[in-house]
Amino acid sequence: MNWNELEIRLSVAEDYLSVRHGLQEFKTRFANGKSRDIDVNPIELVLAEILNNIAEHGDHASLPEKICLKWALHKNRFSAEISDAGVEYSPLEKIRAAKKHKDTSFDNLPEGGFGWHIISALCSDIHYRRHGNINILKLQIPV
């Protein structure tokens, strides 16, 4: 399995512009690889949600901070590992919290908090662990 790697450097708090540039670089590399026949939109949506969450909620103690994105394409799945040194989080708790609004009427829905629900709907597998002061999120998306 050949892993590709990309570093995104957050230079200011909530650095969405760096995330956007990182996603553009990812899409360019992905399109130039052996993945031309694969719809990159679900992959990009998942990565955008995760990377923007890291930029917004990571509470990075020292800037610049880096996010490392590694990815590989297998026969029928996209695998990724995203690591950062932000605050610890629990994706499974976030997913459970988002799903509790499943039967809520449209007018009573909260403004945000659905990113993890979208992520869980598009991913076939999600694993999170904390190693020292590093968050490591691994996921798979069927393609």
For the chain, what are the domain ranges? 4-142
Q: Residue 64: its pLDDT value, please?
A: 74
Q: Give the whole-angstrom CA distance, residue 89 versus residue 111.
A: 21
Fold designation for 4-142: Heat Shock Protein 90 (3.30.565)
Higher pLDDT, 30 or 95: 30
Query: Over the chain, what is the mean pLDDT?
Result: 85
Q: Confidence class of residue 74 from pLDDT cuts 50, 70 and 90?
A: confident
52-72 in b/e form (b: 16+ CB < 10 A) is bbbbeebebeeeebebebebe
In a 3-state reduction of DSSP, which class is residue 108? helix
Tokens of 87: 């605050």
pLDDT digits (tens, 9 = 90+) for 106-138: 566 555 667 888 898 999 999 999 999 999 999
Q: Is the pTM of this model over 0.75?
A: yes
49-72 confidence digits (pLDDT tens): 999 999 988 876 666 789 999 999
> Please, is 141 exposed, middle or buried when counting C-beta atoms within 10 Å of its C-beta (0-12, 13-18, 19+)?
buried
Predicted confidence at residue 102, as pLDDT, reads: 62
Q: What is the average per-residue pLDDT within 30-51?
A: 88
Mean predicted confidence (pLDDT) in 44-49: 96
The per-residue pLDDT for 70 is: 97
Mean pLDDT of all residues in 79-96: 84
